[in-house]
Structure 1
Amino acid sequence: MKVLISAYSCEPGRGSEPGVGWNIAREIAKHHEVWVLTRPDESGEVIKAELTRNPVPNLHFVYFTLPVWGSGWRWGSNGAMQIHYYLWQIQAYFVARRLHREIGFDLIHHVTFVKYSSPSFLSLLPVPFIWGPVGGGESAPIAFWKDFSFRARLYETARYLVRWIGEHDPFVYLTAQKSVLVRATTWDTAKQLYKLGVTDVQILPESGLPAEEIQRLADYQMPETEPVRFISMGRLLHWKGFHLGVRAFAKANLPDAEYWIVGDGPEWQRLHTLAEELGIAHQVKFWGRLPREKTLQKLGECHGLLHPSLHDSGGWVCMEAMAAGRPVICLDLGGPAVQVTQETGFKIQAHHPDQAVGDLAKAMVRLAEDSELRKSMGQAGQTLMSQHHSWQIKGERLAQVYQAIAADKGLVQCVS
């Protein structure tokens, strides 16, 4: 098949959205001939260098950016980037229309950004269109806002407003209506898509890991010696919920345990102060921002991942932890709730901060006191990752979905 992929964010060797764009394109090119629409400003040279080292014969990139604004969004706010993205999508329609006249695509797939409240104008072309993975429908429960700073509340309010505006964009509605298949990263996003009139939404994680990385992480042996260590990894932002992790660790009252936090961000000082106020500063280790390899090494020195995020569409760190054989403690929200199972960790209900902190603490105590439980959950996580969440497997299953669409067969059987 001749497949056109829209990947505004696309870069090899990266996680999050750039990784989603790159890995989906690369894996699909093993089964079909693929053209990728993306930007030259951030990823062009990196992609060219990677393809020189590791050629993918069926993978072609088409680079373009706005003729006036170009890469100017990088010097603006996140809002500037979103405006740039919207305008780039309009430009992508005209680029894709010209390419379709020359090539004749069998299918078009929008991959990144992973945002349900922004349209893809490629859906207007007379070609079967897949939308997703898309996320962004997740919200921090209102009860948890009481712990947010004024600036953080403004952020959450603005996020609601931008999403509401997007939901009332007629082109978002058209994108939903014209998609032959919509894939959502979370249940919350699926609910928003149903409101847009989508009748069938497939829910599956946006994230994956290369098979070779899953194997490499599986080599991290569970530490056999004390102290028991929990780790949180990511940007120190209010919605990542690390303040809940610090409070839960204090409540767990594990005097011989440690809590490691890897990352940097605006919550750094607040988390330091909170650890001191709770009398656990000597047990909480802040490592700051580390290169990815060193971050994964720190994960290998710990016994479990604590990821109390309040609205993650993805949650790559949960997959990395499961691949490394580490149990995951997360809130039953967003992407982590889709990835983590009862065999691989604990998904804590998020009704109220005090309730969530108490239940997170109980899960930490259970893991700290039961080494066999840690091992069994870790092994289950490795099995889950190797059987369902390698990029190779995701690519094979997506290629089958493409074939089913082309043959006008049932989609559900191919996805399951």
Structure 2
Amino acid sequence: MGSDPGIGWNAINEIAKKHQVWVLTRKDNSPFIEAEIKEKSISELEFIYFDLPGADRWKKGSGLIIYLHYYLWQIQAYFVARKLHHNIGFDIVHHVSYVTYNYPSFLSLLPIPFIWGPVGGGESAPNTFWQNFHWRGKIYELLRNLMRWTRENDPFVRLTAKRSILAWGMTQDTAVKLKKLGADNVKVFSPIGLPQQEIDMLAQSLVPKTSPVIFISIGRLLHWKGFYLGLKAFAQANLTDSEYWIIGDGPELKYLQALAEKLGITQQVKFWGKLPREKIFKLLGESHVLVHPSLHESGGFVCMEAMAAGRPVICLDLGGPALQVTEDTGFKVSAHTPEQTVRDLATAMTCLAQDAELRLRMGNLARILARENFSWEAKGHTLAQTYAEILSSPESLTSSSAI
């Protein structure tokens, strides 16, 4: 699984390769965890399962109810952890999930070094792009900003920040938020990774040598994913011997289909809908370039997958994708205004469509970057190294260079 569950599971497995780890998690996770432990003979992890009374009813509620459940569960986690610490004597406490900067972790109250994150969620769509959002998108952004402001002023969120020996932000935007909340030692580190076997599998993907050149976008069709920018740029580039594939489903589907018709590119654009992972990888293998114009995103698994497959990436110079993609592996387009962004995306598309050698060179460098930096093993090495620094000399963290 991606997102929080995937980050949590892979992080603790990597940490357990070099440390004894006790994991506090909800009871409803136990069937999946125990099945995985039995299948793979994992013995280095000790799981402590607990939940609030009536947990099933909590999870059927609205977003506010779910947030309240999380909040109360975190309080309960503190008392469970305090008792365990009295009996075991932990060296470090690490909040791994949720990976959201404005949710408190009461485990920071334990009298041992506390690591927060990496957490994300501090990214925002540039204000100039709001003019292109329909009313639902604008309401979403307004409510998102209001909720973030409210949670940022939660005294327990600020206490979490102040008590952290290290606060990791998934992006520079979130790192700035963590600093404002009162965290003294803030660094940037992306926690998302790919299994080594998946990296190896994707590395075998051969780039098609035949035309047309196929651009591909993958993700949920949401307003902030920016797929409308990709369509406008593709139309502006006027690449008659190219196609644009969009994989995914969501509330923006009809709008994007209507936009493609309005732009006169319906014959070159194909909407594949929601597909299983195996089919997505197959289509990725038939394409040449990933286009990922997301306006606010902490992670960006799809960019890592495309680079592991040897595909150059065109993204915006925002959020998580901007940290993954380099000048050697793709194009990072500045996002000042919609018009400028579409223009620069079109230029990048044209450049890659017309230069097969550039596509191949960027793709090969992307594959190398993915192999060396994007595996869960590489992420685990950073975590283990950080633990070692804290245990040997906590002061060394504040003087070392940013991660």
The equivalent residue for 1:362 is 347
Match of 1:34 among 2, 9, 21: 21
Query: Structure 1 counterpart of 2:121, which letter?
Result: G
Report matched runs for 1:2-401 at 5 Å.
14-41=1-28, 43-68=29-54, 70-401=55-386
Query: Structure 2 counterpart of 1:86, which letter?
Result: Y
Q: Secondary structure at the match of 1:112?
A: coil
Any gaps of 5 or more consecutive residues in structure 1?
1-13
Query: Structure 1 counterpart of 2:139, which letter?
Result: L
Preserved CA contact (<8 Å) 1:231 1:305? yes
Q: CA deviation at 1:414?
A: 8.7
Q: CA deviation at 1:198?
A: 2.0
More off after superposition, 94-103 vs 167-176: 94-103
Q: Deviations over 1:341-374 (max 9, x none)?
A: 1111111100111111111111011111111111
Any gaps of 5 or more consecutive residues in structure 2?
none
Q: CA deviation at 1:397?
A: 2.0
More off after superposition, 93-102 vs 236-245: 93-102
Distance in 2 separating the partners of 1:403 and 1:163: 33
Preserved CA contact (<8 Å) 1:401 1:415? no
Q: CA deviation at 1:413?
A: 4.8
RMSD: 1.4
Specify whether residues 172 and 359 from structure 1 end up closer, same or farther in structure 2 by C-alpha distance, changes over 3 A only: same
Q: CA deviation at 1:79?
A: 3.3
Query: Structure 1 counterpart of 2:26, which letter?
Result: R
Distance in 2 separating the partners of 1:163 and 1:148: 20
Q: CA deviation at 1:207?
A: 1.1
Q: CA deviation at 1:83?
A: 2.4
Query: Structure 1 counterpart of 2:22, which letter?
Result: W
Preserved CA contact (<8 Å) 2:165 2:185? no
Distance in 1 separating the partners of 2:178 and 2:285: 38
Preserved CA contact (<8 Å) 1:259 1:284? yes
Preserved CA contact (<8 Å) 2:248 2:273? yes
Q: CA deviation at 1:21?
A: 0.4
Distance in 2 separating the partners of 1:87 and 1:268: 37
Q: Secondary structure at the match of 1:293?
A: helix
Query: Structure 2 counterpart of 1:380, which letter?
Result: L
Q: Secondary structure at the match of 2:267?
A: coil
Specify whether residues 74 and 225 from structure 1 end up closer, same or farther in structure 2 by C-alpha distance, changes over 3 A only: farther
Query: Structure 2 counterpart of 1:130, which letter?
Result: I
Preserved CA contact (<8 Å) 2:37 2:43? no
| Count of residues paired in the alignment | 401
The equivalent residue for 1:8 is none
Preserved CA contact (<8 Å) 1:65 1:71? no
Q: Secondary structure at the match of 1:330?
A: strand
Runs (4+) of structure 1 exceeding 4 A deviation are: 412-416
Give the percent of matched residue pairs that are identical in Structure 1 and Structure 2. 59
TM-score by length of 2: 0.96
TM-score by length of 1: 0.93
